[in-house]
Structure formats: C-alpha cells, structure tokens
Structure 1
C-alpha cells in the first residue's frame, strides 16, 4: 500500500514539474578478473600433425618414428633402394676442427638454377622438442638448433648467389605446418622450387629428461614416397651429411602412410633432414657445439651446390 501511495505522489510531482530526487543504490561491480597469465602453447586440433615425435609436458613419453614397429626390408614402408650399408665398424664422429669448412664457391657470374625453400622445422612455441638437461645446465632446444643451422646456410648462399626463400623467419610460432607449406607452394619464382626442412631427431624415451637407447643415433634423410626426384635429392644430402660429420648413416627414409606433412603437401621435390639425436647422450653434447653445427650447414650447402650444378 505504501508503494502504491508513493507512486501516486511521484506522478503528481511529475505533472507539476517537481520530480523528487530518489536515492539510488549503486549496482555492485562484478569481481575483478585475475591478471592474465601467458598462454600455454596448445596444439591446434585442426592443425595437421607431422609423423615425427610427439611430446607434451615435462613428464611426457617421447614418441618418434623410432617407436614404430620394426620395418621388414621387403615391406611397403621400407625404402626399396636405400644407400649401401657401410661395411666398416661405426667410427667416432669426425672432429669439426679437422675438416675444411665452407663450400667451393663458384665464379662471380654464377646464375641460380633453383629457388631453395629452406624450412627450419619448429618455432619456440612447439611443445617438447628439447633435450635432457646436461649436468652443466645446457639444453638443446630443437627450434634454436634448426634456426642456427639455417642461418649458417643462408650466410653461405648469400655469398655464392644461390636463390633461396626463408620459409619461416618468425620465432614465436609453433609447428605452423599449414602455413609453412602454403608459403612454399605460393611463393612466386621464375626458377623451379626445391624444399628442404631441417631438423634434429629424438628417439623413444620415458620422458623429456631421459635419454634414448645408445644405439639410436646418426643422421637420416626423408623424402616423399614415390618421388624419384625427391629420393635423388635426399640421397645427395644424406651422402654429404655423412661425409662431413662421420656420424652413423641411417640412410634414406620414406613411408607409404603417415608421412611428414611438409613432404606430402608441398608441390615440389621435398626432403627432410634429421641431423643427429638430441636425446642421445653422445650426440647431444656434439649438437650443442658451433663446430658440429657448421659441419651440418656446410653439408647442406655442398649438397645444394651439387644439385645446382648437376640437377636432380
């Protein structure tokens, strides 16, 4: 009843121009949100995944193509024509300081034959992709290893005059697989294009802080199954990588299914080099050195220059 009488008083006041001032109770503000924390890298469910190792979290199990069922030498997933297996016993890696560095440089009038799309593997936001921590605190991050080698390659190609395209100059990205492939496929070039993806490898391990089996070591080069030019290209890179470093020759690799996305989706001859195992306790310290990284870069450049000269 009191509310009804107050409403009548308010109406009369409005009619006679005397609107009463009513006390207003302010609405409570919503509670403040906590400050935003930096985003944790998450895999995009719509992003295609490579066939390489998958690892998430500090205690993740590291899974790689080394964890696949053993291949039969006459099976569909085994390279039907691998490089010859070495007859000699496995020798220790060649001392980086004992070999000449740098490619044989062509004459100043050199003319590029191909556009080399150089892909440095992963970005800083890719989960996992890091070695166990050494006793002195050092650790290999694969994205940094890949980019260091790529930068050394670019420096030599600049001096020579070889045409190349840096597929992913950004650092704060993840696998970025679709974008990497799209960039390589769409970059405009009057020269035929070739694609090289540079990586470090990882073998099966219980977690990111555990080493793989000591026998899981060496260098391998992948190509798209059924691509004759891709296989020819892979064989040239694998030969130079083994000659330059002296690491175990794991030969050429290819699969009918589950192939690396960057090999199956690029519209050009494409290879992927795996340059040592960063969770092998013998190869990890080597992969952290400037000398070894320069060897890997030199081997890539020598392979590039052979293909520039002879084709594939």
Structure 2
C-alpha cells in the first residue's frame, strides 16, 4: 500500500493568504479533498491521509509528526500563493539529504503535470528551508497553486472544476512518478492482480545523475543484503542512473520488497517496465 500524506495549508485561526473574496485555508482544503478522492478512486494500492479534513488549526510540528508517525511514502503540502505574482511554483527542501534526487524527480512529474492541467504560468521548480519539507522523513514537496491576490488567478480558483484540475495534476504527476496502476473501469477483481506477460514492476531505490553515486547506493544495498543493478534512464535530455532493487511480474511482490527496503532505511518507488 502506497501511503500519501496530503497537507492542506493553514486552517482554523490561521487563514493563510486572503484576497478577492477567498481564504487560502478553504481553497487548500478543497484541493486536498479532491486529491484524496481522485487517487483512491482511480488507482490501486494508494491510500491518502489528510492532515486535516475540516477547518481546524494545526501547528507545523503536528503536521510533520502525523506524516512521520504514519510512515508516509510521499508528503505533499498544498498552498495558494500571494504577493502580486501569477502562476504556479513548487518547492523541495534546499538542504543536503540522501533522498534529494528522488524527491526532485517526483516533484518534476507533479510540477509539470499541474502546469499542463491548469495552464498556469510556470514560475519554476524551487528549493526552500520550509519546516514541512525539512522535518518530514519521506519524499516531500510543497505546491503553490496560483496567486490569491491576483484577480485572474483568483477568478479561476473560485470554480470547483478548476480546483479539480489542480487536484488531478497532483495525482497524475504522482502516478507517473511512482508507476501506479489504474483501477479497471469494472472495479477491482479482489486481489493484487497479475501483470501481462511483458510487464514487470521494478523497485527503484535511488536515481542519480552521477553514476558513482548510484554505485555507492548499490554498495549500501549490498551491505544490507539486497542485490541490485543499474539502469540508465534518459529524461528531458539528461541521463539518470537508477538503482533497480528487484524486478517482479506481480506488483504485490514489488510492494513487499519496498516494505523490506523501508525497514532497512531505504526509500524506493515502483516503476512499470514493459519489454
């Protein structure tokens, strides 16, 4: 089971940004609820937990503690911007940490998909020393979905259908980053399901621009008792060396490997590979 912790920014006495008849705390909650609904309705093996599902105040410490205690695989903090600009931007933690390449990779997919779904001006992929990014122990990013004090952006944020686009961008981006499997239109067959003959579920335990860093991860995995191999993956003209720690015909076996890796301190994601 993939655990996605979605944190709608602000709440309760903390209104967040205010403008054009909108309060950030209300817009972020509406988007977060839609993310949960879309992800759990349309994808197999995805569970979404919200930091809040109503208009309540939570400290930053409470938000990160909840995500860490749950053992989330992905943390997404949803916000609306202010300050006179326009468009969409996203953030990851600006420090040095072992999962940074993987975090940036996931953010890359989510960021681009939100821009694609919404048509927002792309303000760029950024880094910052935000508490919720620094203190979480999993892949974490923060999205700023338009400017509440910009009349054009705010007019879009007032429509439920546009919030649906923002939410769907979050979900589609995460699904592509992690290789989630869509539920069949006729519903689940009851089990994990077997893949077609040419489909494999690869467990990726790190993706690096520098091959030596990928080889270092392989040595760390070997010491922990995991065999792995490198796979060169080209993305937008750049080569990433991905550390593959298992390739399985059955997704449930890949998920079990993920669990074993997590117990040994390694973050990983599942990628669908077709021969």
TM-score by length of 1: 0.53
Q: Name the count of aligned residue pairs.
A: 176
Determine which of 237, 244, 258 is the counterpart of 2:117.
244
Aligned residues of 1:185 and 1:266 also touching (Cα < 8 A): yes
Question: Greater strand share, 1 or 2?
Answer: 2
Aligned residues of 2:106 and 2:174 also touching (Cα < 8 A): no
Alignment partner, residue 298 of structure 1: 168
Cα deviation digits, residues 18-73 of structure 1 (max 9, x gap): xxxxxxxxxxxxxxxxxxxxxxxxxxxxxxxxxxxxxxxxxxxxxxxxxxxxxxxx
Alignment partner, residue 184 of structure 1: 67
For structure 1, the residue ranges without an aligned partner over 5 or more in a row are 1-111, 133-138, 204-211
Distance in 2, Cα, partners of 1:304 & 1:238: 10
| Superposition map of 1:262-301 within 5 A | 262-301=132-171
Q: For residue 156 of structure 1, report the CA deviation from its aligned partner.
A: 1.4
Alignment partner, residue 221 of structure 1: 90
Distance in 1, Cα, partners of 2:175 & 2:148: 28
| Superposition map of 1:13-92 within 5 A | none
Alignment partner, residue 91 of structure 1: none
Q: Secondary structure at the match of 2:18?
A: coil
Aligned residues of 1:221 and 1:272 also touching (Cα < 8 A): yes
Cα deviation digits, residues 184-243 of structure 1 (max 9, x gap): 01115xxx611011111111xxxxxxxx2xxx2110010012422221111111100111
Distance in 1, Cα, partners of 2:165 & 2:30: 12
Determine which of 157, 181, 189 is the counterpart of 2:39.
157
TM-score by length of 2: 0.60
Aligned residues of 2:16 and 2:25 also touching (Cα < 8 A): no
Aligned residues of 1:120 and 1:198 also touching (Cα < 8 A): yes
| Structure 2 residue 2 is matched with structure 1 residue 118 | no
Distance in 2, Cα, partners of 1:200 & 1:290: 15
Distance in 1, Cα, partners of 2:178 & 2:142: 18
Q: Which has the higher contact order (CA 8 A, sep 6+)?
A: 1
Aligned residues of 1:221 and 1:237 also touching (Cα < 8 A): no
Q: Secondary structure at the match of 1:172?
A: coil
Question: Greater helix share, 1 or 2?
Answer: 2
Aligned residues of 2:15 and 2:23 also touching (Cα < 8 A): no
Q: For residue 246 of structure 1, report the CA deviation from its aligned partner.
A: 1.2
Give the number of the structure whose alpha-carbon radius of gyration is greater: 1
Q: For residue 307 of structure 1, report the CA deviation from its aligned partner.
A: 2.3
Q: Secondary structure at the match of 2:63?
A: helix
For structure 2, the residue ranges without an aligned partner over 5 or more in a row are 181-268, 271-275
Aligned residues of 2:105 and 2:177 also touching (Cα < 8 A): no
Q: Secondary structure at the match of 1:254?
A: strand
